[in-house]
Structure 1
C-alpha cells in the first residue's frame, strides 16, 4: 500500500510540476497571458504540497527520485501536448531514470 501511495503521489507531483511549468511556458512564450501564468504558478505550488506527502521522511531522497519521474514525465507530456516524438535515446534515458527511481525509493533498507 505504501509503494502504491508513493507511486500515485509521484504521478500527481509530475502532473502538477510539469503541467505548471507548461502553463507558464504557454503564458509567456506562446503569449497566452496572465491567466495561464497564474494557473501555472498555482500548479507549481501544489507540486510542493504533493511531494511533501510522500511516505519516505527524507526530503533529499524523495526529490532525487522525483527527478527521474520528472524526466520521464516531461517526455510524456511533450508527446501528449506538444506533438513531441521521442527518439530511442530519449526512451532509453527515461527508462534509466525510472530504474533509478526504483532503486532510490524502493530498495530494501535495514
Structure 2
C-alpha cells in the first residue's frame, strides 16, 4: 500500500501543481484551477494512507518519490528528457527516502 500511496500522491501533486503552472505560465483558462485543487486535495489524502507513525517521516520519504515522478513528468508530459545528472540525483533521493522510511527504529531512535 505504501508504494501505491506514494506513487499516486506524486502524480496527484504534480498534476495539481501543473494546473496552476498552466494557468499562470501557459495562459490556460482559470477553470484549470478546479481540477488542480481537487488533485492537490487527493494528494494530501493519499499521503495519509502511508503506514507510518509520524507525518513528518512520511513526508520526508515522499520527497524522493516526488523527485522521480517529477522527472518522469518532465519526460512524458513536457517532452524534455532527463539528463544523467537528473537520474543520478533521483537515485540518490530514492535511496535516502528508502533509508528514512524503512530504516530500523529502536527505542533510542
Higher helix share: 1
Moved over 4 A (4+): none
Alpha-carbon distance between aligned partners in 2 of 1:22 and 1:84, rounded to the nearest angstrom: 15
The structure 2 residue matched to 1:57, chosen from 53, 58, 65, is 53
Counterpart of 1:13 in structure 2 is 9
Displacement of 1:52: 1.1
The answer to whether structure 1 residue 90 and structure 2 residue 80 are counterparts is no
Instruction: Please name the residue that 1:28 is paired with.
Output: 24
Query: Between Structure 1 and Structure 2, how many residues are aligned?
Result: 106
* 8 Å Cα contact 1:6/1:54 also seen in 2: yes
Q: Return the offset for 1:53.
A: 1.4
How far did 1:109 drift?
2.6
Tell me the TM-score normalised to structure 1 length: 0.91
Structure 2 portions without partners, runs of 5+: none
- Give the superposition deviation at 1:108: 2.8
Q: What is the rounded CA distance, in whole Å, between the counterparts of 1:78 and 1:87 in structure 2?
A: 11
Matched-pair contact (CA < 8 Å) for 1:65–1:100: yes
Give the distance between the partners of 1:96 and 1:19, measured in 2 at CA. 24
5+ residue gaps, structure 1, are none
